[in-house]
Chain A
Amino acid sequence: MTGDEIRSLIKLASFFSEVSERPIPKVPVLTGKQVVTAFFEPSTRTRLSFEVAARRLSADVATFVASTSSLTKGESIKDTALTLQELGANLLIVRHSCAGVPHRIADWIDIPVINAGDGRHQHPSQALLDCYTISKNLNIPEANFTGLEIAIVGDIINSRVARSCIEAFSLLGAHVTIVAAPTLLPTFPIFSSRDNICITEDLNEALERADVVYLLRIQLERMEKNAFPDIREYTMRFGLDLKRAALMKKSAVIMHPGPINRDVEIASAVADRPNVLTGDQVKNGIAMRMAIIYNLLTSKSEL
């Protein structure tokens, strides 16, 4: 994707935000279209967000639940994908615990596929809704992030959100500071070679400069052994507690892709402050996902 493609989706999303404010938050643009969500990994918020978005566009929505499906009976992912296509799906929204599965499925079937998160690889719709949230809440015209300082804190190596967000934020012109211990960074320095990305272990210093503090969830389910000693030490070094929150600029905002581990990456008292945008992120997520789905089902352009 290019920065301009992201900007045009943001424009579309802000239109759909208005739709969501209407008494009947629905537009009849995708009547008769069948959207299928296929989540091969447990998720509620992302799946719900996509499903609500599709319904607001008047599409029909079917849900494929991996744990009750024939996958548990040994069916291959390819056969499953082909079956879903044959069932008349016009769009498949896929999440999988392994990187690349949505890409592979897109190779096998003829309908568009949205990657709703693949392993430790990418979570594009999250990054797009975060770009939208930043431009809306910080009132940045044309989503030009030049001069904006964004700190991303936490488990970078295991985070698909981090990979997508770092790329999207820097495409829009922001300067990104990655805050993490070396064990939580990719083993190959894919980020350090870029001018508008820097890496540090000093959270305090990053907080003082940041306009946006983006906290990642510690994903114990994806974590390598001994990436850090324990949660206590992680929180001590990288948790956003009251003391650290005081270092932030007055105008700075805090974001988190959810679900939050309270008192781990963010102190409960900080999490409930008004400059925490998690609620906006969820709301904007619906609008952005409406934009993504609309874009894919009404034109041939690829996301």
Chain B
Amino acid sequence: MTEKNKTKESGRKILLKGGTVFTETGFYQKDVLLADGVISAMEDKTDLLGDCEVFEIDNCLVTPGFVDLHTHLRQPGQETAETIYSGARAAALGGYTSVTAMPNTDPVTDNLSAVAELRNLASAVPIEINIAGSITKGRKGESLSPIAEMAAAGVRLFTDDGTGVQDGQLMRQALSYVKNLNVILAQHCEDETYCEEACINEGEVSAALGLRGRPALAEEIMVYRDLALVRQTGSRMHFMHISSGKSLELIKQAKAARLPVTAEVTPHHLSMTESLLRSFDPLYKVHPPLRAKEDLYLLREAFRGDVIDILATDHAPHSKDKKEQPIDSAAPGMLGLQTAFSAAYAATCLNVKPLEFGDLASGADWTDAALQKALAEAIKKSSAKSGRKNALLHEKNGLFDEDEILSALSNLLYKMSVAPAKILGLSTQGLPLKVMNPANICVLDLGSSRVLKPEMIASLSSNSPFIHINLPGLVRHTFVNGLPVVVDQEAMF
């Protein structure tokens, strides 16, 4: 697919002019030339590059295109909620150049021909769609899918996401079986025996509303079990959408013991609390559920540190009729691709306070104009100092610690691009910005903000919790193999 695109429009050269690039060693003011699908030059000031299309990107930041390991594209089975095409557009608009389609479709992606069919559909969209397979046949948690066969065809990630594999011995067999297959098993950690009829976090809100709760305990117990299984089998494992503070403790210990585990967090768990469920609006129903404020702050801290490896969207489109239901029977999940960067930028760099029930009526503002502007300036200043991070140490400008916020930003960009690509072992995605690396990149405007309006949603579903919220940071452009797929916040396909 990528080859086809390259040759079709070969000879097209694009110059990104006036921006700052995010690289492994820091921020640099450089112009970037895209040609033949790769970054063909990165120069301080390029008058030299002659005949090319110019994108003026003053005050913008060029970063590797984002990579999502956790995307529900709903095709086949729920094409009214999302398709590969609509989901790919949402992804590109969110700065993603690569997403991973979860296998909980109908039918389930649990065999080679299902994988082949999906790849065929995916070849029609310009961004990379990685197909994930299920660990168990039909996601029934009863017997293993033909994992080796799918692995041989290049499937790298296997999960029963939607739910976790409940049977511990089956999970042990799965981990043991894949030991030498160079794949990664990813788990949705919630032990369903603690979640009967339950729909929101078990805690103050569920008690007050008389709703059965899905306790954090259900997650912690499965995390604990799976860490024990990893210790025993030695196989790699990825923990999806961690939501509880105590799970973080367990993962931290496991990492200290050098177990081969990685973990993700979603933008919504970093930015919203269970209090939103006081509205009874299933928009905020998600599994694992939005938790207490203490959990949220622990997740933010873990994301800034080493316990959480990546940001993952858990983009979960649902059609209106699945959401306009009583909260106990409404479908769990929310959109994530288009707003992931802005939400995580607000939560982990600008440190905005979490969205809570009281904020809903007024229409929340998650921007911090002064801080955003100062950050944009700090990036410029940093790059003027040849990107030497040390030069910024202990410099404060009254608003914030520059070093701290720049490292928070670097951390976020890294965990949205390079880190997830590494976990999946992708060869052309999430690579640092370097000459001759594939030009899968996006251009961010950190100083600007926008209110998300319903008509901006590219998904076929509208279950975004961020509609009507003023969000900081824009994804201006997205490029795949050196070609624009999003220009000025408009999808080109």
Contact A187 B213 (CB under 8 A): yes
In the complex, A101→B329 CA distance in Å? 11
Contact A96 B196 (CB under 8 A): no
Contact B210 A119 (CB under 8 A): yes
Contact B327 A77 (CB under 8 A): no
Which of A100, A104, A121, A122 has the most chain B CB atoms closer than 10 A to its own CB?
A100
Contact B204 A99 (CB under 8 A): no
B18 within 8 A of A: no
- The residues of A that contact B324 with a CB separation of less than 8 Å are 76-78
Q: Given A76-B321, A187-B207: A104 and B280 within 8 A (CB)?
A: yes
Chain A 153-166 interface mask (CB, 8 Å, partner B; 1/0): 00000101001000
Q: How many residues of A contact B (CB 8 A)?
A: 26
Contact B202 A160 (CB under 8 A): no
Those of B336-367 within 8 Å (CB) of chain A: none
In the complex, A215→B464 CA distance in Å? 44
Contact A119 B211 (CB under 8 A): yes
Contact A121 B325 (CB under 8 A): no
B399 within 8 A of A: no
Q: Given A99-B280, A104-B280, A188-B203: A76 and B325 within 8 A (CB)?
A: yes
A194 to chain B, nearest CB (A): 13
A186 within 8 A of B: yes
B29 within 8 A of A: no
Q: Given A76-B325, A98-B328, A100-B326: A186 and B207 within 8 A (CB)?
A: yes
B209 within 8 A of A: yes
Those of A159-209 within 8 Å (CB) of chain B: 160, 163, 186-190
| A100 partner, pick from B209, B212, B215, beta carbons under 8 A | B209
Contact A120 B215 (CB under 8 A): no
Q: Of all chain B residues, which has the CB nearest A224?
A: B196
Q: Of all chain A residues, which has the CB nearest B328?
A: A98
| A188 partner, pick from B196, B206, B280, B321, beta carbons under 8 A | B206
Contact A100 B327 (CB under 8 A): yes
B323 to chain A, nearest CB (A): 9
Contact B207 A122 (CB under 8 A): no
A103 within 8 A of B: yes
B53 within 8 A of A: no
Contact A190 B210 (CB under 8 A): no
Contact B210 A120 (CB under 8 A): yes
Q: Of all chain B residues, which has the CB nearest A185?
A: B207
Contact A101 B326 (CB under 8 A): yes
B208 within 8 A of A: yes
Q: Of all chain A residues, which has the CB nearest B201?
A: A188
Contact B207 A188 (CB under 8 A): yes
Q: Of all chain A residues, which has the CB nearest B326?
A: A98
Those of B165-200 within 8 Å (CB) of chain A: 196
Q: Of all chain A residues, which has the CB nearest B215?
A: A187
- The residues of B that contact A122 with a CB separation of less than 8 Å are 210
Those of B198-245 within 8 Å (CB) of chain A: 202-204, 206-213, 215
- The residues of A that contact B215 with a CB separation of less than 8 Å are 187
Those of B275-324 within 8 Å (CB) of chain A: 280-281, 321, 324
B364 to chain A, nearest CB (A): 18
Q: Of all chain A residues, which has the CB nearest B280?
A: A100
Those of A115-130 within 8 Å (CB) of chain B: 118-122
A41 to chain B, nearest CB (A): 11
Q: Given A98-B326, A190-B204: A104 and B210 within 8 A (CB)?
A: no
In the complex, A20→B211 CA distance in Å? 37
Contact B325 A99 (CB under 8 A): no
Q: Of all chain B residues, which has the CB nearest A225?
A: B196
| B202 partner, pick from A99, A187, A190, A225, beta carbons under 8 A | A187
In the complex, A203→B206 CA distance in Å? 27
- The residues of B that contact A187 with a CB separation of less than 8 Å are 202-203, 206-207, 213, 215
- The residues of A that contact B203 with a CB separation of less than 8 Å are 187-188
Contact A160 B210 (CB under 8 A): yes
Q: Of all chain B residues, which has the CB nearest A163?
A: B210
Q: Of all chain B residues, which has the CB nearest A190?
A: B207
Contact B326 A190 (CB under 8 A): no
- The residues of B that contact A99 with a CB separation of less than 8 Å are 209-211, 280, 327-328
B242 to chain A, nearest CB (A): 22
Q: Given A76-B321, A119-B328: A103 and B208 within 8 A (CB)?
A: no
In the complex, A101→B213 CA distance in Å? 17
- The residues of A that contact B212 with a CB separation of less than 8 Å are 120, 224
In the complex, A4→B434 CA distance in Å? 71
Chain A 49-74 interface mask (CB, 8 Å, partner B; 1/0): 00000000000000000000000000
B329 to chain A, nearest CB (A): 7
In the complex, A121→B203 CA distance in Å? 14
In the complex, A297→B207 CA distance in Å? 32
In the complex, A119→B326 CA distance in Å? 10
Contact B210 A121 (CB under 8 A): yes
- The residues of B that contact A121 with a CB separation of less than 8 Å are 209-211
Contact A77 B325 (CB under 8 A): yes
Q: Of all chain A residues, which has the CB nearest B330?
A: A98
- The residues of A that contact B281 with a CB separation of less than 8 Å are 104
A180 to chain B, nearest CB (A): 14
In the complex, A173→B328 CA distance in Å? 34
Chain B 30-51 interface mask (CB, 8 Å, partner A; 1/0): 0000000000000000000000
Which of A77, A121, A186, A225 has the most chain B CB atoms closer than 10 A to its own CB?
A186
A227 to chain B, nearest CB (A): 12
Contact B204 A188 (CB under 8 A): yes
Q: Of all chain A residues, which has the CB nearest B206?
A: A188
Sampled A-B contacts (15; CB under 8 Å)? A76-B324, A77-B326, A78-B324, A96-B326, A99-B211, A99-B328, A100-B211, A103-B280, A118-B210, A120-B210, A121-B211, A187-B202, A187-B213, A189-B207, A190-B204
Q: Which 4 A-B pairs have the closest CB atoms?
A: A100-B280, A120-B210, A98-B326, A121-B210
Known A-B contacts: A99-B328, A121-B211. Give 9 more (CB < 8 A): A78-B324, A97-B326, A99-B209, A99-B211, A100-B327, A101-B326, A103-B280, A121-B209, A122-B210
Residues of chain A having any CB pair with chain B under 8 Å: 76-78, 96-101, 103-104, 118-122, 158, 160, 163, 186-190, 224-225
